[in-house]
Structure 1
Amino acid sequence: METETLGSSCDACGKGCRGYRPHTWRALCIECQCAKASHLIYAPETPNLLKRLGYSDTSPFMNVVEEQLKIAESVGYVCSPLGLEKTQIVEFAKYVDPSVLPRIRDRSACLERLRRVHKQVPPQDVLQTACKSLENSQKNQFERLKDRRNRKALGLAEVHQVSNEDAKKSCHGCGERIVKPGKNVQGDSDRFVLKASHAEGMLWHPSCFQCAECKDHLVDFFYCWSADKNDILCVRDFNQSLRSRCPACDELIFSVELTRSMEGDHHTGHFACSNCDKSLTGHRYILREEKPFCIQCYEDIFANTCEQCKDKIGCDSKDLSYKDRHWHERCFKCSSCSTSLVDKPFATKEEALFCSDCHDEKFAARCDGCSKVFRAGMRKYEYRGKQWHEECFLCLECRLPIGTKSFIPRDQDVCCVPCYEEKYAQRCSKCTQVIKRGGVTYKGDPYHKECLVCANCTTQLAGVKFTSKDEKPYCAECYGQLFAKKCCRCTQPITGFGGCKFISFEERHWHSECFVCYKCDINLVGKGFLTDGDEILCPECGR
């Protein structure tokens, strides 16, 4: 039928497996420890699965299948469900994945089909010689299961074009309605449906013809009908519905005696350590990545080494870990005072463990107020490179904790706002209140902006030109009106603001620009002039 091909590489582990080498009874490769199914270890002599399943060449069902295979091969396909003519196979192939209905020359699709054959129709389920755990007394049971499957449950899907009656039904696989092609049909429609002779009235989309348990596409459209589940199964899952499967050797169990564990039922002796094959029946074991290990192997392979004593941390000891480092429970202690740190807060420094007290005493920051350490959970206040406990961060004057309130620096200390305003803040020379913002200075004294005003009109003087008279400030306009000399020509005040120049003569005053001849208006600044009563004249006009 088929033979194991030793040396086939592994598709799963990526460890550079040198080739499949079978375990004496486990369904795995002793080269890479991966499952047997991960290696392409079977090469079928024929695409006809009925021969793999043990059907006779003279069986009527075999003749029907052989005829359908000839039709498929004539148009370049490996297999075909029943009911398709040559012209229909190519069209039907559009509705399924290439690996479900592979072309003979499509190597990738054929390999995927081959893997599906190996998974769904494993040789140990159909051939006694492929079983390593089958005893002579159990061979009759094997044949009875095989006969029950082949005679009562096995079938090959049949293709039908969607009829009006089919269009009233839904796909048993996905539950969606079957849609018959037509002029008024919008969107996708279904040209073909699959039927199973055992499942009267049930229909499947071509892409939905899958095993109800493993959800894999049924290889070459062969199925086994499960009356209990009222659904189609692959050969593997159908056999498992009737007999337990040993997870170690992947063979069906026909023996009355078996071992049960969390993994399921095992052949007697097959519930064993995944490393040394020692039987675990009646012994303690540990599961690692769903594989059982005896205590000795688990400790040798997986047990961590204690950071303190460098011994292995056995299964009977607690393994305490921190940042990929491990300790025995008895070794997990402070490196300074040797106090146990189990269920206690701890800290590390240069990979050494310390209890909270020792770590604080040796390494924790200290308060600049009381020189004591900051312990875990304490509030820390920092300012200008210094740090304080909450109760040590005090006002310079009132010595009360500042906490989260505003403060003002004073030399190297700090003051709360009320104390700073009371002791050190500038006060307005007029209203005596603290100047918090917008202050101005006049003759060395501080004022609020709104308090420095003209002594006559009370206009605010901040930012404008003003002068003083008898220690009182006046705006330029009030000062000119109240105290400035008047120009004899224009009668306006001579204030001197803006660099104004003026001329004085015999108790009379003029702006420089107003000191002109009263007749010809020539400017007389720096020139000779004559007087005629209240008038001044240039020498020409005074003749």
Structure 2
Amino acid sequence: MLGSLQSDLHKLGVQTVAKGVCGACNKPIVGQVVTAMGRTWHPEHFVCTHCQEEIGSRNFFERDGAPYCEKDYHNLFSPRCHYCNGPILDKVVTALDRNWHPEHFFCLPPFISPFIFLPSLFFSLCFHEKDGKAYCRKDYFDMFAPKCGGCTRAILENYISALNSLWHPECFVCRECFTPFVNGSFFEHEGQPYCEGHYHERRGSLCSGCQKPITGRCITAMAKKFHPEHFVCAFCLKQLNKGTFKEQNDKPYCQGCFIKLFS
């Protein structure tokens, strides 16, 4: 085709000069020419090695001496983001032995859908790793740090180990009055720590007379418990025996005081 064109132009007295040899077809180039990669090309022959589309004036990339359009080059050879699997065209974050778009390197707990959750970007690239996944500090400790037996929040620093649980020091207190334990001495009831008074209150072992714990002998009367020396007549304060008292208005009386007061 080119040969006959040159012959026709010569017959008309028009001189043609070849502008080089095409890097694709190895034939002389007369007319438009593309100069790229140190060679000349017919415009229709300077195409993407992968998709075979004419590159023209578009940007292209060279690899191993072959031209590629911008789209195919990035799809074939650019590093890919571990999150979206798309090619990374500009800045790249390399972490956990993988590559990421900077906007895709974020904390995303595995039980939350990315379609309903706004992830937290690692703006400072400070993160915690667990099983090959990256987490921000808050989510990492919320998910994997031991939890306090008192407040159930994550334990980050000092802790107390007691009752088969870990505790923030400030959370290991009586579960009733929230008083810290002197010298670490506490009482356990149903897996929770109590001071002595509230421990006996929970167990129903406080003396109804003095409101102090009963640790020795005990008298049970009127559905209550007493130190023996505190089970006394409500009027004369004489110590009573369990079987020798009269009850009136939820109070115990000796025989004599009961007759005197209520007969």
* TM-score computed with the length of structure 1 as normaliser: 0.21
Larger Rg: 1
